[in-house]
Structure 1
């Protein structure tokens, strides 16, 4: 509510009440992240995060409980805040498993999932100093009302409540990527660990996240569309501004202007020989006339990332040698896309790409033989990887597993020589 006190008669909106006027806008509670009440342009009623309903989050928790052994407990901590300097934090990004189960996009919490307790969230308590400088954050009320937790307590109560939950469990699973001393130092946790009863939860969460729901696929398509549109505009920009740094800035601008919250990773913009550096990140060179530029980019939209790579000549035309190589990679890419269907594995798709490129590079004259060692010196990368809430998503899932409907992957064929 906004209240203005001014001398005389003050007009504010449609109400005039002598010396006082009041804002009649609908009042909502700020929980530190968008809600349908605070951001109706982003979320529909019933959604916890944009595009994902509370029913879907509850179903995720149910499916995870079905995978967990009887009398087991899952502990998933939020991602920590990482500092760039002693007072300047890096932009926060939530851990994918914590986000997948809770929908909470804020640091400091610990989620516990069990057959008896359901979802229990331990939430950090707001510090007045932090609220002044950084704004409100989600607490116990938000955990129950916004995130639909079954139980919620202040984080300060974790050492009183969690030990009994752990002691009543036969096996513990936790997210080793975000493990925190807040629960790992508890005597009950250490006792379970000493008995070899503690495992990594990702073996189950990755299995769930591997197959995307229709709502997730919609977000991923939108993320890919944003990245594609941004990259097309960046290509057109490259002839006038053939600088790696400027192209990196252009793609980030175009993605964010179309709704992306951040880039999925630091853009790789490699001109000439820099394109052969797989995770090139300096982006500080001018692209020479006649050289190709490779851009490996992706953006994140409401927790779901895209990843695409393109190579082109900023000068506007390929040389004959460049065109011959480009056509080989393009044809390989088309065939590999055709193989992306249920029953085929990433490994099989990769092996097909290796066979095609080895033969093609030999025909062109780049490779003298078809031995794998000489080819892998040119291209040590895989044809692709799983894609979702992380760029290299579901890392515990083997590339030999047959694909299923709902599985998404990035094809990195343009990263080849």
Structure 2
């Protein structure tokens, strides 16, 4: 069945307007025209007489006849906005024309009674703006026709099932060369093209990310308000999820980390099963997902609402380092430069606290803080939490990609002092601290999407004292 269709200013003003209003002005999402604009940008990077394939995700079985919550392939979603499994998006570019074709599940009353409604072919054209939509059963026939006479084929090489399918299609076409078929002569990895497109966010994408950050900031604030000694970590995780869904972010963007005490020294701690103890810190790394886009925020605060002196000293050092790094963000700056700032601040601070010893200049040159700051300073953020985009890493592992307007990134310095590190003075052991913000690079500087999430010692203690 076929259906055819015959669009440094360091400014926080918009984000603050949402926060000051104490409510969301309407859940942001992308329109059909936004997804069409994404496709048009990809078409512009395709050679004439070429075709591109992007596959949707497949549902994953959780147990017997139940599935995990469906998460769409991000490249497929970026180009289509379509959120059903097993679909295929085809972009066909001839010399004087370009066409978008979707293959998707058919309308089927019996299947829909059991598994939910399907968009179907007719609505796929009218709602999602594709030129044609066919059922999945029609895929092989039509793709063989599309490939005849095409010169180049684009697909993402890291999608193994799609790669195998594309080469099977190509083999079938080449088998008919004696009948006059002209098979493609070149395959091209689509990843570098779509990664570059996704790296620069449009105004509408940034507005969605602004809102999901606002929602996520509310969730972190709720966690601070609800935390007390004796609760389980997972109970605080539940408070965070409650706030996400209450404001329209139905899913977490990643597995929430709620790490009390020494658990904070496990970077990807997601067990969230232990009790919270008096006089310990709680590190929460949590972000909601809205219209496919992620927030990624970390806050660390005392379980009982009051920092001890050692906690306060380390926390202020991390906070000051983060602030110095963010203040340097503008177009033309690189992660390499930001890492220099973070290394200078953290190493000097650890030296002043007596945690590092020796010649300060040598310690800075040797990046001695990395003994306790054991992960990267930040990463791209967007449809994926660790979003796509080239960092331009050189042989020294320095990230030399210059920032440009529309990039969104995280900044997340931290210090980790494991309980079993006997080289540390006892007062520091068992403390793990990370503070993470989400930053948009603007025309002359940056916008901090997480500026309304409490982070200063005074603000945290005042909030938790209510």
TM-score w.r.t. the length of structure 1 is: 0.83
2:395 maps to 1:406 = no
Deviation at 1:326, TM superposition (A): 0.8
Q: Tell me the residue number matched to 1:186.
A: 169
Distance 1:115 1:81, change over 3 A: same
Whole-Å Cα distance in 2 between the matches of residues 182 and 148 of structure 1? Answer: 26
Deviation at 1:186, TM superposition (A): 1.9
Distance 1:67 1:362, change over 3 A: same
2:366 maps to 1:383 = no
DSSP-derived class of the 1:400 partner: coil
Whole-Å Cα distance in 2 between the matches of residues 263 and 335 of structure 1? Answer: 29
Distance 1:230 1:311, change over 3 A: same
Whole-Å Cα distance in 1 between the matches of residues 336 and 252 of structure 2? Answer: 28
Coordinate RMSD, CA, aligned: 2.5
TM-score w.r.t. the length of structure 2 is: 0.74
Given the alignment, which residue of 302, 312, 321 partners 1:313? 302
2:86 maps to 1:104 = no
Deviation at 1:120, TM superposition (A): 0.9
Q: Tell me the residue number matched to 2:104.
A: 123
Q: Tell me the residue number matched to 1:286.
A: 275
Whole-Å Cα distance in 2 between the matches of residues 276 and 189 of structure 1? Answer: 54
Given the alignment, which residue of 131, 145, 148 partners 1:150? 131
Given the alignment, which residue of 122, 134, 143 partners 1:162? 143
Give a deviation string over 1:281-305, Cα, whole Å, max 9, x none.
1111112211111111111011111
Deviation at 1:224, TM superposition (A): 0.3
Whole-Å Cα distance in 2 between the matches of residues 177 and 136 of structure 1? Answer: 31
2:156 maps to 1:175 = yes
Distance 1:361 1:158, change over 3 A: same
Give a deviation string over 1:374-410, Cα, whole Å, max 9, x none.
5333222111111111101114454421111111111
Deviation at 1:350, TM superposition (A): 2.3
DSSP-derived class of the 1:84 partner: strand
Count of residues in correspondence between the two structures: 370
Deviation at 1:53, TM superposition (A): 2.1
Distance 1:190 1:168, change over 3 A: closer
Whole-Å Cα distance in 2 between the matches of residues 74 and 133 of structure 1? Answer: 33
Distance 1:189 1:70, change over 3 A: farther
Q: Is the 8 A contact 1:311 1:414 kept in 2?
A: no
Q: Is the 8 A contact 2:347 2:368 kept in 1?
A: no
Distance 1:133 1:406, change over 3 A: same
Whole-Å Cα distance in 2 between the matches of residues 387 and 231 of structure 1? Answer: 19
Give a deviation string over 1:334-372, Cα, whole Å, max 9, x none.
111111211112232123212211121122122235264
Deviation at 1:177, TM superposition (A): 4.8
Q: Which runs of 5+ in 1 are unaligned?
A: 1-41
Deviation at 1:188, TM superposition (A): 4.1
Distance 1:122 1:325, change over 3 A: same
2:66 maps to 1:77 = no
Deviates more, 1:309-318 or 1:389-398: 389-398
Q: Tell me the residue number matched to 1:14.
A: none
Which of the pair has the greater relative contact order for Cα pairs under 8 Å at 6+ separation? 2
Q: Tell me the residue number matched to 2:451.
A: none
Q: Tell me the residue number matched to 1:266.
A: 255
2:55 maps to 1:68 = no
Q: Which runs of 5+ in 2 are unaligned?
A: 1-23, 176-182, 393-398, 417-432, 434-466
